[in-house]
């Protein structure tokens, strides 16, 4: 591999990592316009394994905005990122697949609009399908595979596989 190719690969990895981080920040901050802008025009998201919906990113953003209203405190972490380039549609480098684990603690809204200390915590794995566009890397698809969920003490626990 030439030095130029190695540099381009490192730059792509940094850009892809930045896009995944921007996704987490948009969801945690409830910035649904920023969320929508992370996707290609035909981008889709699938949250069905976490009890959500699957569909076009704009529709899913509206669903997220409504369903996450009960959790004003969100700070999910996306870790163990595995990046593979050129894996979608047998492309030579303008597509990427990222698989990454997540842990997502969310605080419930308390009476008076304050956020409660306790809440829901869940974890699982994301699959991000990315496409290089004229505007940089964008999400073509996001698939959430929730593996576990812990409810507040006294509410029981659920395990999803």
Instruction: Provide Rg for the chain, Cα atoms.
Output: 17
Exposed e or buried b per residue across 64-99, where buried means at least 16 C-beta atoms within 10 angstroms of its C-beta: beeeeeebbebebebeebebebeebeeeeeebbbbe
pLDDT at 87: 60
pLDDT at 91: 60
CATH class of the domain defined by 3-159: alpha beta
Neighbours of 143 (CB within 10 A): 17
Do 98 and 128 form a contact (C-beta atoms < 8 A)?
A: yes
Q: What is the mean pLDDT of residues 44-70?
A: 96
pLDDT at 93: 72
Q: How confident is the model at residue 159 (pLDDT cuts 50, 70, 90)?
A: very low
The more confidently predicted of residues 117 and 109 is 109
Of 2-16, 45-59, 105-119, 136-150, the poorest mean pLDDT is in 105-119
Residue 18 φ/ψ, nearest 5 degrees: -60, -40
Alpha-carbon gap, residue 104 to 38, rounded angstroms: 20
Query: What residue segments make up the domains of the chain, in order of their start?
Result: 3-159
Mean pLDDT rounded to a whole number for the chain: 88
Minimal CA–CA distance to 99: which of 78, 128, 132?
128
pLDDT at 95: 93
Do 123 and 144 form a contact (C-beta atoms < 8 A)?
A: no
* Burial group, residue 46, by CB count within 10 angstroms (0-12, 13-18, 19+): middle
Give residue 133's Cα distance to chain centre: 19
DSSP classification of residue 31? -
């Amino acid at each position: 591999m030439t030095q130029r190719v190695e540099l381009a690969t490192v730059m792509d990895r940094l850009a892809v990592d930045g896009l995944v981080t921007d996704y987490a920040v948009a969801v945690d901050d409830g910035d649904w316009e920023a969320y929508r802008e992370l996707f290609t025009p035909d981008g889709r998201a699938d949250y069905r394994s976490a009890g959500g919906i699957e569909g076009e990113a704009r529709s899913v953003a509206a669903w997220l905005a409504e369903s996450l209203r009960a959790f004003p405190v969100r700070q999910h972490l996306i870790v163990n990122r595995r990046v593979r380039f050129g894996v979608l549609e047998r492309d030579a480098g303008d597509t990427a697949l990222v698989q990454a684990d997540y842990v997502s603690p969310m605080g419930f809204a308390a009476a008076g609009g304050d956020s409660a200390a306790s809440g829901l915590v869940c974890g699982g794995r994301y699959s991000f399908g990315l496409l290089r566009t004229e505007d940089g890397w964008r999400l073509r698809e996001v698939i959430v595979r929730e593996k576990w969920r812990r409810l507040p003490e006294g509410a029981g626990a659920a395990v999803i596989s």
